[in-house]
Chain A
């Protein structure tokens, strides 16, 4: 299993929130190396099941949607107006190359009124309404090829390999974790399990959490682990708001089932994998938030690798840490035995 190749295949396939079909096909292809038990629901979540029919069912979920843009209108000179889909910082957009998914994929460039027309002022950030997408056509041709509601994605490029196994690209959030699930599937496929595991590449995490919600409802697992990125250190970040790039991060707080957390922590300890804690009093901003309250309550936990520059086109991650996330999850699932219900009981 070549994780970097999987990441490359995943991130070069478009899948903005609400239009994850193409990337879903790539996921299915990769899942098929480990299981024939693969299915997709009506909103596009892709599931693959491995393991034994007896015992509990564990769901591992990484979202495959990515942030992007949507066309809201076409100006009389053929330029496109847009709105963000998910948490796009408009400040990273000017000067970006994009792909407009119209009647056919069209390359485009994001532009804005230059500073010499605004009195040389560069102190104010551009807002999404100020920006245009230039696809090089006049209005007539543009309106033929593009409609309101068409998606726009960052131009797909293979990830850049930096020093020390650091890798940088768009959409590491959360496709790197989809690749991590594949690594985890491979590790588990070599072991004898006492449970079944459903891996799910979910849709719409970046907006509504719809995929996590309906996935948890339909699978109704006994435990769920959401895998998503957390923040790596960058200058100016306040204490305890970022984690070292070489640590596997486990979340603690009301969204997390404390016993499931303990099982993951034990797995990391057994394998001498360094961990760090992220404390979240309430909303964790991951699929675990919706999963936890489905079907009368599903024990949930979160495993994360730190990532720098979240929601830009240069999201940076450390491959070894990603691999360690897979080891922690695989170890925890491998440890599950007949006593799983007692192990999860909240009352000592």
Chain B
């Protein structure tokens, strides 16, 4: 994985519904390796590399991230916010955020009694301070309806990397990296979907337009390898995880079998993932038209939906290799 590219994609602004900037960053990287690149009505970025078999494979990863939306600006210039996607309020207090236009601010909460954020902080009593003292000043910088996201560095710990946007930019980078390397007899569509974090909204529209024979979606998954985590057999560094089931989707037996065989043939270490809670775009892609066979490669990720999501580069590189192996196969999974 090219770490500079990963960093660019991690740090591009793109909360759910406002993915234009991150879409542009990804498009720049992927364009040289594709025959066509465009955005659809919802903003999904759709990139195609032509093949000869007449069959279509769709690779997908959502490019949106969780964030906040400004719902009101009060007389003193404080911005009132609501969540865009699954924000953890207590872990957001004291954090730096940035808007698309470069305005930065910090999040805090109403403190009439205590500064114990875990006890008190909730979105209705949280706000963003952008350094203004009146409504008028603030409105020159930010307007109701604008969104902001966590500002985080890419923390490079060697084999492992942390960032606030790992979910799901690491998977976007995996697809870009795979598109640079892969050889396939089929048309390969790389699709970077919008609005996953607010309820799997974008992916189905892209799948509807493409109508692929097979979809491989990529997303992060939880792990069970940190102190006192509830039992889950997925661990960082043991290879990309092949999804069996989560609360949104069951991966068809034919697809699981195909994915596992590909990993074993190419000697790529892999894990089998059964996620107790959580959903992914795979669920809505399966339901398009008369059904699309779809599976999911998950990158194990610690501390999902916090500003410090951690992944292991071995799992990331394994995912790239697994994609290349799968798209190279003449025979795709059938009924």
A and B touch in the complex (CB under 8 A): yes
Task: Point out the residues of chain A lying under 8 angstroms from B180, CB to CB.
Answer: none
Residue from the list A17, A208, A217 in contact with B289, Cβ < 8 A: A217
Task: Point out the residues of chain A lying under 8 angstroms from B267, CB to CB.
Answer: none
Contact B274 A149, beta carbon cutoff 8 Å: yes
Contact A72 B231, beta carbon cutoff 8 Å: yes
Contact with A along B269-280 (1 / 0, CB 8 A): 001111010000
Contact with B along A206-217 (1 / 0, CB 8 A): 011010011001
A71, CB-defined interface residue at 8 Å:
yes
Contact with A along B244-286 (1 / 0, CB 8 A): 1100111111101000000000000001111010000001001
Which chain B residue lies CB-closest to A207?
A: B250
Interface residues of chain A: helix, strand, loop or mixed (majority): mixed
Residue from the list A19, A148, A207, A218 in contact with B272, Cβ < 8 A: A148
Cα(A297)–Cα(B274), bound, Å: 35
Contact B287 A148, beta carbon cutoff 8 Å: no
B311, CB-defined interface residue at 8 Å:
no
Task: Point out the residues of chain A lying under 8 angstroms from B181, CB to CB.
Answer: none
Contact B335 A44, beta carbon cutoff 8 Å: yes
B140, CB-defined interface residue at 8 Å:
no
Which chain A residue lies CB-closest to B230?
A: A129
B91 CB to closest chain A CB (Å) equals 24
B291, CB-defined interface residue at 8 Å:
yes
Cα(A81)–Cα(B254), bound, Å: 24
A73, CB-defined interface residue at 8 Å:
yes
Contact B335 A70, beta carbon cutoff 8 Å: no
A257, CB-defined interface residue at 8 Å:
no
Cα(A213)–Cα(B230), bound, Å: 34
Which chain A residue lies CB-closest to B256?
A: A149
Which chain A residue lies CB-closest to B292?
A: A42
Contact B274 A204, beta carbon cutoff 8 Å: no
Contact B283 A208, beta carbon cutoff 8 Å: yes
Cα(A74)–Cα(B272), bound, Å: 12
Cα(A73)–Cα(B229), bound, Å: 14
B232, CB-defined interface residue at 8 Å:
yes
A34, CB-defined interface residue at 8 Å:
no
A85, CB-defined interface residue at 8 Å:
yes
Contact B233 A72, beta carbon cutoff 8 Å: yes
Cα(A85)–Cα(B248), bound, Å: 11
Task: Point out the residues of chain B lying under 8 angstroms from A71, CB to CB.
Answer: 274
Task: Point out the residues of chain A lying under 8 angstroms from B230, CB to CB.
Answer: 129
Which chain B residue lies CB-closest to A82?
A: B274
Task: Point out the residues of chain B lying under 8 angstroms from A284, CB to CB.
Answer: none
Query: A147 and B272 in contact (CB under 8 A), knowing A70-B245, A129-B231?
Result: yes
B76 CB to closest chain A CB (Å) equals 44
Contact with A along B220-251 (1 / 0, CB 8 A): 00001000001111000000000011001111
Contact with B along A161-199 (1 / 0, CB 8 A): 000000000000000000000000000000000000000
Residue from the list A42, A85, A217 in contact with B250, Cβ < 8 A: A85
Cα(A72)–Cα(B273), bound, Å: 8
Contact A81 B231, beta carbon cutoff 8 Å: yes
Residue pairs across A and B with Cβ atoms less than 8 A apart, 22 shown, are: A18-B245, A41-B290, A41-B291, A41-B335, A42-B335, A44-B252, A70-B245, A71-B274, A72-B231, A72-B232, A72-B274, A72-B276, A73-B224, A81-B231, A85-B250, A147-B272, A148-B272, A149-B244, A210-B291, A214-B291, A217-B290, A218-B289
Chain B residues in the interface with A (C-beta under 8 A) = 224, 230-233, 244-245, 248-254, 256, 271-274, 276, 283, 286-287, 289-291, 293, 334-335
- 19 additional contacts (CB under 8 A) given A148-B244, A208-B249, A214-B291: A18-B251, A42-B254, A42-B335, A43-B286, A43-B335, A70-B245, A71-B274, A72-B233, A72-B274, A72-B276, A73-B233, A73-B274, A83-B274, A85-B250, A149-B256, A208-B248, A213-B287, A217-B289, A217-B291
